[in-house]
Structure 1
């Protein structure tokens, strides 16, 4: 193997399960990735991936061995990268943050503005993604996550609990008998929810148990769009309190937060990066700023 990019291609296809997604991850077009894979297989004289209907590319045993070797090499390169970055004492350069859409929309951006004022030499790149990005692979330097990290090589702290409850536009609530005392009264309301295929989302599952399918008049996979729909008077939406309580055009339809939906907000980085000046500055300024808004996150404001 003379070219690391050949190993990266094999690893990307193994991870993505297909050529199209792998090409996108590597920043090349499909035809380039296809040509490179065919040339690599011809050079080695071995098939690395099967080509199945639907565009799936399961690896052969040779492909599995090559992808595993590529992953070990990647781990070494990333460890070296983190080791060098971890000793960076400059308050300058790029800092990649990942956050959910709702947190960025309602709370985070104003704290990022204060961070930029305090540290103008640091360029902030915010990745809005509800997936858990890999901090080990440097998909981000810092993550704001709704769950406690399970990976042993991560370092961080809990900033607050996160409360959820139901919201509606004041005019809608007035026209439909006011707030509800509990889930048993949702039958008289139109509901805004997640798309029917959504699974594993605690709030969506709770709402699905509390109401019949017929009650849902509007569905979307975006919480910010659910907020907008509730604001427009379409019906009630189940939202985190930091999103709903901060909106002057919404009122609580269920006065108290739903206890079983209480979550958490964590700020996390890789342990190798915790001494980096940029990362420390972000934890100190943005992390502490978010922690001071604990009453908002926990539904007490």
Structure 2
């Protein structure tokens, strides 16, 4: 196995557990992965995977060793790429950023516009994704996260506390008594997440304070939850930076819900912290957060919010 592409094939199949997933990782078609893997096994005279039911591919002992070696090679290559990128002092090139749907929708895009006006040589690629992308593997260069990073190889800073509140359509909330506490949510139609949603703080909290029968509409998109609440479907839990500026939508009670407050962080890999375009983007986002801090902290609710 003296061709790096052979190692990539083995590693992708081992990670995906099948040909289809591996093809997606590598950006090739299913038949290409099958043909190259079959040819590789023929050359080395050993099966690397056992073919199981439903198209599953399980590494043999040889396959597991080959995949582990490929992963070490990948780690070295990625480390070298990060080292070289960390020495880059140019305010030009590609910068891949990842954040959630709501941050991109309401906050980050205007910040990027101002950043691009100042640094036209930097091309931004924005990956809008609720998953935590792997910065060590360069799935992104910079991430905006609503939780303190746990990985030891990341470097970043806390930007703000993100406030959340319950929101509903102006007409609906004008016709009902204001909420006096979380327990009152159960007496209203609610908008929630798909059942079984994991890792969403607000989804867990809502499941604890209101019965499932109170939820009349479910979607994992917070932007869609906002639109549904504005349309009168029910009340939705939203970050204040998303709900407060939206016409036709008001808070169900004036104060943010303390239990739902999250931390907003900007992070990168430690190897990239001195890259010029990364540092410039950090500064631009910090400036944007400062300008929008009242909105993010939940202190900028519009007049007309129910008392």
TM-score range, shorter chain: over 0.9
2:167 aligned residue: 167
Deviation per CA, 1:12-60: give whole Å up to 9, x if none: 1222222211110110011111111111112122121222223322212
Question: Could you tell me which residue of structure 2 aligns to residue 196 of structure 1?
Answer: 195
Aligned to 1:205: 204
Q: Is the 8 A contact 1:178 1:253 kept in 2?
A: no
Partner of 2:180: 181
TM-score (norm 1): 0.96
Query: C-alpha separation between the residues in 1 aligned to 2:162 and 2:24?
Result: 35
- TM-score, structure 2 as length reference: 0.94
Once the 2 structures are TM-superposed, how far is the Cα of residue 286 of structure 1 from its aligned partner?
A: 2.0
Partner of residue 31, structure 2: 31
Distance 2:244 2:170 in 1: 13
**1:198 CA displacement:** 1.0
2:107, 2:194 → 1: CA distance? 25
- Alpha-carbon shift at residue 211 of structure 1 (Å): 1.3
Deviation for aligned residue 1:274:
1.0
Q: Cα offset for 1:299?
A: 1.2
Q: Deviations over 1:86-119 (max 9, x none)?
A: 1111111111000100100011100000000000
Q: Does residue 127 in structure 1 map to residue 131 in structure 2? A: no
Tell me the equivalent position of 1:294: 293
Alignment partners' CA distance in 2, 1:181 and 1:54: 53
Match of 1:67 in 2: 67
Greater mean alpha carbon deviation, residues 249-258 or residues 116-125 = 249-258
Measured in 1, the distance between the counterparts of 2:108 and 2:46 equals 50
Structure 1 position 263, deviation (Å): 0.9
Q: Corresponding residue for 1:214?
A: 213
* Shift in Å, 1:248: 2.3
The one-character-per-residue Cα deviations of 1:261-295 (angstroms, maximum 9, x if unpaired) are 21111100111111111111101112332244222
Check if 1:138 corresponds to 2:138: yes
Aligned mates of 2:265, 2:195 — CA distance in 1: 28
* Higher mean C-alpha deviation, range 198-207 or range 287-296: 287-296
Q: Distance in 1 between matches of 2:97 and 2:121?
A: 16
What does the per-residue CA deviation read over 1:241-274, in whole Å, with 9 as the maximum and x for residues that have no partner? 1111121221001322222221111100111111
Gaps of 5+ in 1: none
Separation (CA, whole Å) in 2 of partners of 1:132 and 1:113? 24
5+ residue gaps, structure 2, are 301-307
What secondary structure sits across from 2:98 in the alignment?
strand
Give the Cα separation in 1 of the matches to 2:286 and 2:26.
32
Would you say how many aligned residue pairs link Structure 1 and Structure 2? 300
8 Å CA contact 2:186, 2:209 repeated in 1: no
Distance 1:59 1:261 in 2: 43
Match in the other structure for 1:153: 153
Structure-2 separation of matches of 1:107 and 1:87: 30
2:88, 2:267 → 1: CA distance? 18
SS in 2 for 1:58: strand
Q: Which residue of 2 aligns with 1:247?
A: 246
* Aligned equivalent of 2:4: 4
* 1:100 alignment partner in structure 2: 100
* Separation in structure 1 between the aligned mates of residue 161 and residue 56 of structure 2, nearest angstrom: 41
Once residues 228 and 46 of structure 1 are traced to their aligned partners in structure 2, the CA distance between those partners, rounded to angstroms, is 56
CA distance in 2, matches of 1:191, 1:74: 47
**Whole-Å Cα distance in 1 between the matches of residues 109 and 266 of structure 2?**
15
Q: CA deviation at 1:70?
A: 0.6
